[in-house]
Structure 1
């Protein structure tokens, strides 16, 4: 070449035919990338620059192209294979899920207690009030203070229903005093319970004197006929209306052999659920065993008698101290708070309340534990002077409880014979000669728990069920 051409550019390909060495021509189109050769004085060495254009992106096959393969045998077979595999996998997962559900162990329905069962109860007598808050006066604030210091949420007020007129407050009380207590209790979210109407009514009772209500009574007697639906309807209206409006939510039926009364309490209890009320039977007076002949074996027999039902234990610890040692009474308090049942603590005066509120509050806190509320209770025997048992419920901490009611002898208690009790547990509370201990108590081997004279213990453990 005689002269270098500057600025020569190979422009974009066109549709003309490019000659080849063999004489054929190849069409050039715009589908390929453009290539440009340029030269300039910059860079100074005169090197040529090559600009490569951007290729058109691949946009896939069109619908028309795809349809060409729609009936192709290979693709038809492949589609059927994938279709079958998808549904076979889906069915297999469904069957597997059903098998897992069927074979999985059933979860037991969680047991719960009604409010009337959960908390121990403290009796408050408006005719013998306690200045619990130390204000110098006695009013509804003292009821709230007592319940708080004892860790209880239910107050028992004895015989509030007038035996002559079931719609009125008993005349032995000053009505305004009762209403003041009920108002204060309601504001503090405390439940208040009283006794159910008497089965044998006074002959001066307004219902007994009303001839139109004669079917409320067993013919020829002044005993209420609790199998009469008309009577039950009237009681339902009375308890869920008049008394619930006054702030009374629970009604306690004495322990009785009258099946009609038991059935009536069950029916009324169901009816009162709509107003968060309760009618329950099973009140049991503990004074029959808290006497001068009290011993551990009689006490355990009493507890075993009520282990399969839910009793409401009328318990007067101050009265018990008049006939048995005060250290024994405190051990009874420790143990009765941990059994299936509700203690109703009555007869407290200011001194006894002050001296024993810490113990009762500590035991009230244990009552909030699920295994203490609804767990199995099993006794173990180590000596005739010891009452020992465990409360066990799978999936929640269990508790071993033992009290040594002998004044001189020490003993060892073996809890591991009880199903679910492991080898070791953590000591939560000790009561030794009326001294309450609840901190830094260490652990115990549950096959040999030492107990000194007049000593009680509560041990927490993880069940090995």
Structure 2
């Protein structure tokens, strides 16, 4: 038999065995007793895979019918009611706790009412000639944008009316002097200022260029006051936002009835502009006690005085501010710093600005020269290598004061005082608090550790907000109130945490 024939027979036997049906025993041996096997006619085999059965003791949950049966049992009903009662008790407890917290929490302090003149500093321009290049009302109008950049709230202008020296019979309140400009120019100035949100206060002091007194003489006070009443109607009708009058102590004392008429015209004035008009009084009195009495008796909205003159040391300034701030609200207080008599006008002092803009009340920034005002320095900044720091500092202080309640409304608390050092705290309710420090000494360093224990009660650190010298005390610098120092002729405004 050949080799090929033998291999063919083997293959045939193998194929026949594969096609032959299995016996029942063979099926059980291969598939097990639980798996039935069925052979189709075409030779295919179908297998039935058994479903998984749960292991004994394994919980598979309740079906819907079982749940419905359990839900109605007495035990489950009692459980549901117990959980419901516990939920409402917990809810009522939380509500009662919230109400208790609200009732026990200290109420927010009511914000005092403010007028527009409390919202920012007033800028007084005495000399039109020195203020601008043209030296007249038109020159002031050209500088309105620069004043707006410094965040001032109003201009106190003049006097600008015709004023024959010591001659009350020739006095003309309604006539603008030729040196100042014209009536059309003042109308244009008022209109342009209002478009920018600035107010205009006109100085109507009668005898501003004479030597016999601002109201000429005692015998002429009554007649001049009577003529002033009609002038007030004229200027307020023209759109000015207030008037300034010098020596109100004299008028109030000599002609009280006429003074009340003047007050009524200004303070009760109403027209299309929905705001009050400012009656700004001025007095030569410098005693804090006298100024306090006049402020209450005269009824002016603000009173300008020399209680904080350059001759007053830090101790005297602290006593003055304490006296006036304890008697009147910040809305009634006005501060300015007049240079010492005979002093040469110089560029403004950053420490003075820091003081005026952080005291409780309104600041009046007085223009002595164009350089002191800082206006011309803004205009010529490219020409001058070291422009005045005052315009930028004034803008920063005004903006900060407008948004910080502690500076706008806050209480004044004296922290430390000597002849050369002044430290006070401004605070309002839960608003951020500010510690203001001044070292007027020309050569002595002030150690902040001297603020203890008051400084300790305010925390151990303070963050610099603004300073008179940003090179040394830059914003966001943290000072240690236990070990830090304040150099000579420096001032700084710190934000301090609550106790």
TM bin, normalised by shorter chain, reads 0.5 to 0.7
CA distance in 2, matches of 1:295, 1:147: 32
| SS of corresponding position for 1:460 | strand
1:426: which partner in 2?
463
C-alpha distance in 2 between matches for 1:95 and 1:87: 12
Q: In the alignment, what sits opposite 2:271? A: 241
User: Does residue 1:339 correspond to 2:345, yes or no?
Assistant: no
Aligned to 1:131: 132
When you count helix as a share of all residues, which structure comes out higher?
Answer: 2
Number of residue pairs matched by the alignment: 373
Q: Secondary structure at the match of 1:122?
A: strand
Asked if 2 retains the 8 angstrom alpha-carbon contact of 1:284 and 1:314, the reply is: yes
Instruction: Please give the alpha-carbon distance, in whole angstroms, between the structure 2 residues aligned to 1:374 and 1:224.
Output: 34
Residue in structure 1 matched with residue 91 of structure 2 by the alignment: 93
Tell me the secondary structure at the aligned position of residue 152 of structure 2. Answer: coil
Root mean square deviation, CA, Å: 5.0
Give the conservation status (yes or no) of the 8 Å contact 1:283–1:313: yes
Distance 1:46 1:131, change over 3 A: same
Q: Give me the whole-angstrom Cα distance separating, in 2, the residues matched to 1:397 and 1:258.
A: 31
Aligned ranges for residues 200-239 of structure 1 at < 5 Å? 202-204=225-227, 223-224=257-258, 226=260, 239=269
Instruction: Evaluate the alpha carbon distance shift between residue 446 and residue 190 of structure 1 in structure 2; reply closer, same or farther with a 3 A threshold.
Output: same
Matching residue of 1:141? 142
CA–CA separation in structure 2 for the residues paired with 1:40 and 1:223:
129
Residue-by-residue CA offset, 1:369-422 (whole Å, 9 max, x unaligned): 333223332223353211221223465443322222233333324334337521
Cα deviation 1:202-239 (Å, max 9, x = unaligned):
2335679xxxxxxxxx9x967248599xx95x7676x2
Paired with 1:227 and 1:350, the residues of 2 have a C-alpha distance of 37
Match for residue 444 of structure 1 among 472, 479, 489: 479
Cα pair distance change 1:260/1:343, threshold 3 Å? closer
Note the C-alpha offset of 1:93. 1.7
* Distance in 1 between residues matched to 2:173 and 2:131, nearest whole Å: 21
Report the 3-state secondary structure (helix = DSSP H, G, I; strand = E; otherwise coil) of the residue aligned with 2:97: helix
- Is the alpha carbon distance of 1:81 and 1:431 closer, same or farther for their aligned partners in structure 2, counting shifts above 3 Å? closer
Taking the aligned partners of 1:353 and 1:124, their CA distance within structure 2 comes to 9
Q: 2:304 aligned with 1:290, yes or no?
A: no
SS at match of 1:367: helix
Aligned residue for 2:301?
281
Distance between the aligned counterparts of 1:406 and 1:59, measured in 2? 90
Of 138, 162, 171, 2:175 maps to: 171
Matched residues in 1 for 2:366 and 2:480: separation?
A: 37
Q: From the superposition, tell whether residues 250 and 155 of structure 1 become closer, same or farther in structure 2 (CA, over 3 Å).
A: farther
Structure 1: which 5+ runs fail to align?
A: 5-36, 53-57, 209-217, 263-279
1:315 equivalent in structure 2:
336
Aligned residue in 2 for 1:462: 496
Give the TM-score normalised by the residue count of structure 1. 0.62
Cα 1:325–1:204 change in 2 (3 A) is closer
**Mapped contact 1:320–1:329 kept (Cα < 8 A):** no
Distance 1:328 1:125 in 2: 16
Q: What CA distance in whole angstroms lies between the structure 1 residues aligned with 2:451 and 2:173?
A: 50
Shift of the 226–91 alpha-carbon distance from structure 1 to 2, 3 Å rule, reads farther
- Give SS of 1:47's match: strand
Q: Which runs of no fewer than 5 residues in structure 2 stay unpaired?
A: 1-20, 22-36, 52-61, 163-167, 207-220, 232-251, 282-290, 375-387
Residue 343 of structure 1: CA displacement?
0.6
- Find out whether 1:185 has 2:221 as its counterpart: no
Deviation at 1:133, TM superposition (A): 12
Q: Which residue of 2 aligns with 1:212?
A: none
| Contact 2:466-2:493 at 8 Å conserved across structures | yes
Alpha-carbon distance in 1 for matches of 2:477, 2:50 = 86
